[in-house]
Amino acid sequence: MHSHEFHRTITTSLRGTAGADVAPAWLVDAGPGRTEGLASATVLASYQHIHWAGYPQLAQRFAQGCAAFAAAGQTWEAPAGPEPLPAPDLRHHGDAQLRPGLIDLAVNVRPAPEWLLSSVAARADRWTGYPEPGAARRALATRHGLAAERLLPTAGAADAFTLIARTFPGRRVVIVHPQFTEPEVAWRTAGHQVRRLMLRTDDGFRLDADRIGADADLVVVGNPTNPTGVLHPASEIAKLVRPGRIVVVDEAFMDFVPGEPESVLAAGLDGLLVTRSLTKLWGIAGLRAGFVAGDQALIAELAGHQEPWAVSTPALDAMVAIASDQAGQAAVRILEQVAAERAFLVDALRAAGFPVAGEPRTPFVLVDVSSLGVSNPPEALAAQGFAVRRCDTFPGLGPGWIRVSVPSEPISTALIAALIRVRGD
């Protein structure tokens, strides 16, 4: 290939004793006050110019190469490095929908049980000392059938995302959307190259592992997914694992699935990391409690990069309580209640002509409200007294979707009536 380098280096004239006699190797007339040239050893920023004139065979081979590249289904990668957060607003969360007087169906956090709050408060004398995570780490690991070395307590799942993104730099990341947006924020902020894989509405937002590019060396997927409520098969998640790739599975809502049949928490696969939130089921979002578990070597690296005393003592005490048999018995009752209330809500929505995505396994449902005929469904419902989660801030969704936390049956009935009023029936 025939080409030449082009560069234009602007230098500062050398002054003072050390460089008084040093002159630029070359100069051009660049106008008053500017010196252009090369005065000493330096690094040149340059690029290659390809000249087709006189070399038609080069142009022909270049065109043939481009055609073969495209025919093979290959694409050029986006440049790695920090990127500004693209639209939609990935930092938008359900609490932004809340206003005084509205019934909260926007935030996926249940009220905290009194026994849990009392258990944490009873150990307030420990709060004057620095946090010691050992007991919580062992309790959670035992609860989930893991060695303690395969689990690391974190200040919620969002903290785990940030920790993973900072510990393993320079990755080609694929985020499976629609899903919780904080993982994408974490990896973009840490300077990774990030691409999105959009799951399709007409396919029920189901994961197809074969759609992940072979060049991706870190994949993030939610299971069950927020906001779609879809529970992906563990076998499909396992297909994502391959040598040299880290797979991060956000299982923040897996504890709402009785028996957790599709969890990969204890799969023991190399390169697999699972994040969990302990705040959704137990209503302690303000305590920031969660963990990351999986590949022991990766967990050791994460522990080495975790900030000292990253998880507060009250949060660690809550983790121990949540790992208890008492919590396990309470969880069974909660899940039975959520399942019954969700079935009532889904049936009522569909009967009223509002499609619900898939067969949700979460304490929320994704609802198609495009039939309302309004540009801003959450605002229209706020006027009716309800706060719901807007979904145009989730990549892959638009303003015709809302996410609704599963309420009691009377509130579900009132919500359906409000939707019908907005629709103008």
CATH topology of domain 94-107+328-423: Aspartate Aminotransferase, domain 1 (3.90.1150)
**Residue 79 above 50 pLDDT?**
no
pLDDT in tens, 162-212: 999 999 999 999 999 999 999 999 999 999 989 999 999 989 999 999 999
Nearest to 164 by CA among 149, 184, 146, 144: 184
Q: For residues 367 and 404, is the Cβ–Cβ distance under 8 A?
A: yes
The mean pLDDT of 90-117, rounded to a whole number, is: 78
The mean pLDDT of 276-294, rounded to a whole number, is: 93
pLDDT in tens, 14-34: 444 444 455 555 454 444 554
- Check residue 100 and give its pLDDT: 79
pLDDT in tens, 306-342: 999 999 999 999 999 999 999 999 999 999 999 999 9
- Check residue 73 and give its pLDDT: 60
Rounded CA separation 229/47 (Å): 49
The mean pLDDT of 239-267, rounded to a whole number, is: 96
Residue ranges of the chain that CATH labels 3.40.640.10? 114-324
pLDDT in tens, 48-78: 455 555 667 767 777 777 776 666 665 545 4
**b/e 131-148 (16+ beta carbons within 10 angstroms → b):** bebeebbebbbebbebee
pTM over 0.85: no
Rounded CA separation 122/189 (Å): 39
Q: How confident is the model at residue 116 (pLDDT cuts 50, 70, 90)?
A: very high
- Check residue 52 and give its pLDDT: 55
- β-bridge pairing 47-50 and 3-6: antiparallel
Residue ranges of the chain that CATH labels 3.90.1150.10? 94-107+328-423
- Check residue 418 and give its pLDDT: 97
- Check residue 98 and give its pLDDT: 57
Helix axes 409-423, 325-351, angle to 10 degrees: 30
34: which 2 tokens? Answer: 């500017």
Q: How confident is the model at residue 111 (pLDDT cuts 50, 70, 90)?
A: confident
Q: How confident is the model at residue 107 (pLDDT cuts 50, 70, 90)?
A: confident
CATH topology of domain 114-324: Aspartate Aminotransferase; domain 2 (3.40.640)
Q: What are phi and psi of 100, to 5 degrees?
A: -55, 135
Radius of gyration of the CA atoms of the chain, in A: 27
Rounded CA separation 195/184 (Å): 9
H or E element in which residue 220 lies? strand 218-222
